[in-house]
Chain A
Amino acid sequence: VRADEAVAELFAGMYSSLLGTARLLLDDPGHAEEVVQEAFVRVRVAWWRIRDPERAGAYLRATVANLARTDVRRRALARVREPQYARAGGGTVPAAEDTAILRDEHRRVAAALRHLPGRQRECIVLRYYLDLSEAEIAATLGVTPGSVKTHTHRALAALGVRLEGLA
């Protein structure tokens, strides 16, 4: 019961930010809710192994990032390989940038974000959407803070080229 309550509390506090993160990390934002749901389920099932409940939020973020990365790879595999699988995975929801309410500037950001390599995209989303520190991003992605700094710097440079004027 304690684990259920703890996960319910995490859900109330983190679901929205994780859903936004997943949408920004995935090539197909329509899968974001599944990814976030799966992350909460895994953390609940593995709750007994989380020695420090204070870090459960960090585990959740790491799980969402890992699941999103796997989903992106899986879709890349499907695109290369098996047309019928790609069709079977349908139900694609239009990306947010395709909706009419977005300004041109936001469409360009979305397109530029999609062109970034996976790790760079993760660093940008965690830094500028979740407002995590370099140390927190490093812990989430399982890399060193130096690596986070490098990826973020390269990502900003790439975005700057595409968007012109970003420092």
Chain B
Amino acid sequence: MTEDGLRQALGILAGDTTPSPSAASEVASIASRRVRRRRLAVGAAAFAVVLGAVGLFGDGRESSVRTVPAGPTTPGPTVVALTRGGAVRLVDVSNGRTVRTLVERGVDGGVTRSPDGTTVYYGDSGTGCANGWIHIVPADGSSPPKRLVEGTRPSVSPDGTRLAFWTRQSGDTGCDLSLVVRVPATGAEQRWTRPNGYFRGGPIERIDWSPDGRRLLISKNLLVLDLTRPGPLDGATSIPLTIATGNGKEVRHSPDDIALAWRPGAGDEGRIAMEVSCCGLPLDESHVVLVDPDAGTIDALLFSSDSRPVVLDFDPSGDDVAWVDDKGRLRVRDTLGRTRSLGAGYREVAW
């Protein structure tokens, strides 16, 4: 067979490629829904930020953490990243440059951003049974950080109206750990307490909202909390994630040190993205898969990487993902599947 013969054979194997009459309109319809969903999230989050600006948010006291002055307008899409030294930076996803340093040092209790990107939340971890503080700071650096509430590991709901975080208090035999969901505009709270749940010096887990705002994903324990069904915060609500191996045996995946995040998807439910090293996948790479949050089964392989993600976060559309790997490198994978390295020395990232 000649090269021309190969061309001809490929043309025949490709088959009839005439688009169906509705194909173009289906593309327009799906794209329009995704764009609308993204705009809705941004608008609602802006509402929450306005509440903050008129004083319904925070106790108004200035944070003791030093910041740098306001800089020029953000040139492009950014992520908010926490460095190993405790600095909070806005990083340009197109080139990895620091657009603005919002906090120079001292942050160790997580970082996140409102869905519209205008407000950054960060936390201090506190010591022993004593809480640190959650702070807010405008992403444009136009005003200094303010203390918001006692707690750590803040996470803002997709509609921007609720804040989830952890608090600790002294219990009978140790520190009780509570997960709090607060509506800053009204002060209303829901609270789930795990008695004696905090081990001195142990890590406090990240919290991530489901795209529909009805459930919380608690990292490392692979725990999903249904906010519509209050109950104890214990292992009873963890996802029974089991993975079948090639020889027919099933293994329960170890919940330790895995990167987890809720990925917005085509439906409101979304999927949980988690890093796995199992299931017959090549061991020289790390793999992030999508898990059905109800069935606990793996739906798809999202991407593979030459290093192991330890923190993952998706943009509101679910198309772009940012992660920090086990070597402290910050990376972004965009909607076209291109991965960019944005530098090293990072601990966490949020879109």
Which positions 68-103 of chain A face chain B at CB distance < 8 Å? 69-70, 73-74, 77, 80-85, 96-97, 102
B1 to chain A: which residues have CB within 8 Å? 105, 109, 163, 165-166
Interface pair A46/B336, CB less than 8 Å apart: yes
How distant is the Cα of A36 from the Cα of B319 in the complex, in angstroms? Answer: 16
The reply to whether B10 and A128 contact each other, CB–CB distance below 8 Å, is yes
| CB neighbors of B among A3-31 (8 A) | 4, 7-8, 11-12, 15-17, 19-21, 23-24, 29
Instruction: Tell me if B77 is interfacial: C-beta within 8 Å of chain A.
Output: yes
Residues of B within 8 A of A37 (CB): 23, 26-27, 30
Indicate if the CB atoms of B9 and A105 lie closer than 8 Å.
Answer: yes
Q: Mark A107-128, 1 if CB is under 8 A from B, else 0.
A: 0011001000000000011001
Taking chain A's interface residues, is the majority helix, strand, or loop, or is none over half, making it mixed? helix
A143 within 8 A of B: no
Q: How far is the CA of A143 from the CA of B299 in the complex (A)?
A: 29
- Report B-chain residues with C-beta under 8 Å of the C-beta of A106: 9, 12-13
Q: Are A41 and B31 in contact (CB under 8 A)?
A: yes
- Do A11 and B27 form a contact, CB below 8 Å, given A23-B14, A45-B335, A129-B7? yes
**Cβ of A44 and Cβ of B317 under 8 Å apart?**
no
A96 contacts B15, CB within 8 Å?
yes
Q: Which residues of B contact A8 (CB under 8 A)?
A: 24, 28
Q: Does any Cβ of B come within 8 Å of A42's Cβ?
A: yes
A132 on the B face (CB < 8 A): no
B9 adjacent to A109 (CB under 8 Å): yes
- Assess whether B31 is in contact with A7, with CB atoms less than 8 Å apart: yes
**Residues in A whose Cβ lies below 8 Å from that of B299:** 85
A-contacting residues, B5-20, CB 8 Å? 5-7, 9-15, 17-20
> Residues 18-42 of chain B: 1 if any A CB is under 8 Å from the residue's CB, otherwise 0?
1110011011101100110010000
* Size class of the B contact interface (CB-based, 8 Å): 35 or more
Give A71 Cβ to nearest chain B Cβ, in Å: 9
- Cβ-neighbour of B2 out of A41, A63, A82, A167 (below 8 A): A167
Q: Counting CB contacts under 8 A, is A138 at the interface?
A: no
Contact with A along B81-99 (1 / 0, CB 8 A): 0000000000000000000
- Minimum CB–CB distance from A111 to chain B (whole Å) comes to 11
Q: Do B297 and A63 touch (CB < 8 A)?
A: no
Smallest CB-CB separation from A160: which chain B residue?
Answer: B1
Please, which residue of chain B has its CB at the minimum distance from the CB of A81?
A: B279
**How many Å lie between the Cα of A19 and that of B24 in the bound state?**
13
Residues A133-161 near B (CB distance < 8 A)? 142, 159
Q: If the complex has contacts A41-B34, A46-B335, are A80 and B10 also in contact, measured as CB distance less than 8 A?
A: no
Closest-by-CB residue of B relative to A69 is: B337
A59 to B34, CA, bound (A): 19
Q: A45-B31, A85-B297 are in contact. Are A77 and B14 (CB under 8 A)?
A: no
Instruction: State the CA gap A59–B38 with chains docked (Å).
Output: 22
Of B113-121, B125-133, B197-205, B238-246, which stretch is located at the interface? B238-246
CA distance A84 to B299 in the complex (A): 11
In the docked arrangement, what's the CA distance between A17 and B335, Å? Answer: 21
Tell me if A15 and B335 are in contact (CB < 8 A): no
List chain B residues, Cβ under 8 A from A80: 246, 279-281
A85, B298: Cβ atoms closer than 8 Å = yes
- Contacting residues of chain B (229-245) with chain A, CB-CB under 8 angstroms: 243-245
Query: Is B252 part of the binding interface, using a Cβ–Cβ cutoff of 8 Å?
Result: no
Q: Please judge, given known A-B contacts A42-B335, A165-B1, whether A125 and B27 are in contact too, CB under 8 Å.
A: no
Residues of chain A whose beta carbon lies under 8 Å from any beta carbon of chain B: 4, 7-8, 11-12, 15-17, 19-21, 23-24, 29, 33, 37, 40-46, 49, 59, 62-63, 66-67, 69-70, 73-74, 77, 80-85, 96-97, 102, 105-106, 109-110, 113, 124-125, 128-129, 131, 142, 159, 163, 165-167
11 more A-B contacts (CB under 8 A) besides A16-B17, A20-B14, A24-B14?
A7-B28, A24-B10, A40-B31, A49-B334, A70-B303, A77-B301, A80-B279, A81-B245, A82-B298, A124-B10, A163-B1
Please list 26 pairs of residues, one from A and one from B, whose beta carbons are closer than 8 Å in the complex, sorted by A's number.
A12-B24, A16-B17, A20-B11, A23-B15, A33-B23, A42-B335, A43-B336, A44-B28, A45-B38, A45-B317, A69-B337, A70-B337, A77-B280, A77-B301, A80-B246, A81-B245, A82-B297, A97-B13, A102-B13, A110-B13, A128-B6, A128-B7, A129-B7, A129-B10, A129-B11, A166-B5
